[in-house]
């Protein structure tokens, strides 16, 4: 008996030591149970580009709490490109000592003390898009550093990756994060080049589906070697991708431009509503320290956020387009639906929508909006008013570039 237990102890120690010590066996799967609903937070890039420093980031964390954004569900404070200083003599990355004199660990501690989480940015190539040190060849070392700092979210970009295969490069950083041992959300930022929706769900929690967003509602910005896309152009590029999204793995149509000065209040509403319908990550990209009331109300509209954060995690779909007005639907838990009428023209449009006309069937979620079987009561998610029931034809006017967004709940 004694002999047997010695043997068992010996075997279990050997097996444990062997499996932990074998660095050739890697785990290429993301950490599970992170991002079960689309991540919500803030990112520095759209407003500040390379102009990031620890004082600003601390103030953003403060504002996240004081503006009610944290209460509305925003969690991540993500520092994008250009925080980097260089690599030390052993190759370990350190932040810019002038912009981040207290270091990243202190900043992470501060953000955590507010009940928030911290995100950082790197790149699969030799350099980031902003010309800072990339992680290529340093993946495991960087992952160890991020874990030691207390990082919760990594956006991993795709500049300067000539000759690399995207799936392999992202699997490498995932393996490195796994080995470092701290659960970190991985945001794949590969711009949709190599169909990240096909391999991304195992490797990361969200993947960019397109090139960068541009701060306009309906335009394309040609930068010469690359193009950036307005809100409507990004929306159109999501076509066909909804089946790849779900709890823990999301299509990412890029960070929001709400409050960055180029969109009208109607366009801000439309942008936010559509990101909610797409079950997109809600990453604010404005200066939340000084945003006006209108912007704050858009970003913290709890009813619209509830559509985005619905636990079913089904991305919405475009049902039809009539005279420049698109009708989008999103199935939600407890038999509910979100419906959003998006007026893409600059002119006021009158709509009439007859819920009785024919059932709307969503093959993906196996859900049906069929008023012959069930009626719904409706709430306008922007005015917060009761919007009647599906028993009557819906009649409304929608301003140019605005939305009418409704939540439909079953009448029992
Ligand atoms: C790329 C990304 C952007 C941003 C910049 C930073 O363009 O797509 O979201 O991170 O790099 O340089």
Active site residue 212: yes
Query: What are the residues facing 377 on neighbouring strands?
Result: 389, 409
pTM: 0.94
- Ligand 1 centre distance from Cα of residue 49 (Å): 9
- Ligand 1 centre distance from Cα of residue 292 (Å): 26
* Atom of ligand 1 minimally distant from the CA of 82: 12
What span, in angstroms and rounded, lies between the C-alpha atoms of 149 and 147? 5
Count CB-CB contacts under 10 A for residue 243: 14
What span, in angstroms and rounded, lies between the C-alpha atoms of 43 and 120? 9
Nearest CA, atom 6, ligand 1: 81
Active site residue 157: yes
What span, in angstroms and rounded, lies between the C-alpha atoms of 304 and 363? 24
Question: Which pLDDT value is given to residue 4?
Answer: 47
- Ligand 1 centre distance from Cα of residue 251 (Å): 17
- Ligand 1 centre distance from Cα of residue 236 (Å): 20
For ligand 1, residues with CB inside 6 Å are 45, 80-81, 128-130, 157, 189, 212
* Atom of ligand 1 minimally distant from the CA of 208: 8
Strand-pair category, 153-157 with 93-95: unpaired
Question: Which pLDDT value is given to residue 24?
Answer: 77
Contact 316, 338 (CB under 8 A): yes
Q: Which CATH number fits domain 317-410: 3.10.20.90, 2.60.40.1180, 3.30.465.10, 3.50.50.60?
A: 2.60.40.1180
Active-site residue (options: 81, 123, 157, 287): 157
Cα torsion 261, 267, 268, 272: sign: negative
* Atom of ligand 1 minimally distant from the CA of 212: 8
Q: CATH assignment of 40-308?
A: 3.20.20.70
- Ligand 1 centre distance from Cα of residue 27 (Å): 27
Active-site residue (options: 123, 212, 252, 362): 212
Select from 212, 227, 252 the residue to mutate for testing ligand 1; criterion: most ligand atoms less than 8 Å from CB: 212
Question: Which pLDDT value is given to residue 13?
Answer: 46
Please identify which residue in the block is written with the tokens 């890697």: 26
Question: Which pLDDT value is given to residue 68?
Answer: 98
Question: Which pLDDT value is given to residue 23?
Answer: 65
Spans in the chain with pLDDT lower than 50: 1-2, 4, 10-11, 13-18
Enter the tokens of residue 54. Answer: 């620890």
Select from 46, 79, 84, 189 the residue to mutate for testing ligand 1; criterion: most ligand atoms less than 8 Å from CB: 189
For the chain, domain boundaries: 40-308, 317-410
Nearest CA, atom 3, ligand 1: 212
Nearest CA, atom 5, ligand 1: 129
Count CB-CB contacts under 10 A for residue 295: 23
Nearest CA, atom 8, ligand 1: 212
Structure confidence by residue, pLDDT tens digits, 22-75: 667 999 999 999 999 999 999 999 999 999 999 999 999 999 999 999 999 999
């Amino acid at each position: 008996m004694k002999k047997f237990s010695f043997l068992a102890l010996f075997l279990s120690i050997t097996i444990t030591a062997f499996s932990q010590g074998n660095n050739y066996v890697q785990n290429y799967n993301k950490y599970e149970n992170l991002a079960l609903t689309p991540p919500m937070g803030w990112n520095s890039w759209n407003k500040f580009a390379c102009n990031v420093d620890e004082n600003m980031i601390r103030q953003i964390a403060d504002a996240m709490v004081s503006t009610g954004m944290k209460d509305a569900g925003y969690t991540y404070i993500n520092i994008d490109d250009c925080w980097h200083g260089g690599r030390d003599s052993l190759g370990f990355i350190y932040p810019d000592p002038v912009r981040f004199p207290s270091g990243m660990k202190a900043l992470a501690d501060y953000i955590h003390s507010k009940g928030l989480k911290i995100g950082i940015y790197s790149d699969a190539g030799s350099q980031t898009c902003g010309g800072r040190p990339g992680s290529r060849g340093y993946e495991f070392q960087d992952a160890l550093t991020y874990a030691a700092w207390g990082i919760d979210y990594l956006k991993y970009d795709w500049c300067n990756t000539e000759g690399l295969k995207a799936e392999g490069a992202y699997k490498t950083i995932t393996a490195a994060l796994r080995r470092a041992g701290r659960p970190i959300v991985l945001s794949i930022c590969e711009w949709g080049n190599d169909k990240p929706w096909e391999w991304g769900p195992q490797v990361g929690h969200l993947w960019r589906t397109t090139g960068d967003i541009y701060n306009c509602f309906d335009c394309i910005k040609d930068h010469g070697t690359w193009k950036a896309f307005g809100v409507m152009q990004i929306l159109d590029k999501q076509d066909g991708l909804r089946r790849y999204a779900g709890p823990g793995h999301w299509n990412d149509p890029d960070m929001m431009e709400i409050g960055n000065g180029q969109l009208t209040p109607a366009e801000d509403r439309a942008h936010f509503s559509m990101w909610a319908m797409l079950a997109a990550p809600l990453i604010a990209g404005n200066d939340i320290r000084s945003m006006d009331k209108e912007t704050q109300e858009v970003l913290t509209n709890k009813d619209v956020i509830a559509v985005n954060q619905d636990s079913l995690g089904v991305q919405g779909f475009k049902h039809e387009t009539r005279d420049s007005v698109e009708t989008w639907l999103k199935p939600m838990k407890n038999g509910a639906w979100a419906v959003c009428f998006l007026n893409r023209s600059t002119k006021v449009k009158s709509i009439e929508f007859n819920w009785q006309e024919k059932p709307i069937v969503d093959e993906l979620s196996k859900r049906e909006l069929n008023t012959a079987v069930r009626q719904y009561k409706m709430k306008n998610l922007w005015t917060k008013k009761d919007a009647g029931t599906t028993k009557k034809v819906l009649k409304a006017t929608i301003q140019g570039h605005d939305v009418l967004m409704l939540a439909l709940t079953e009448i029992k």
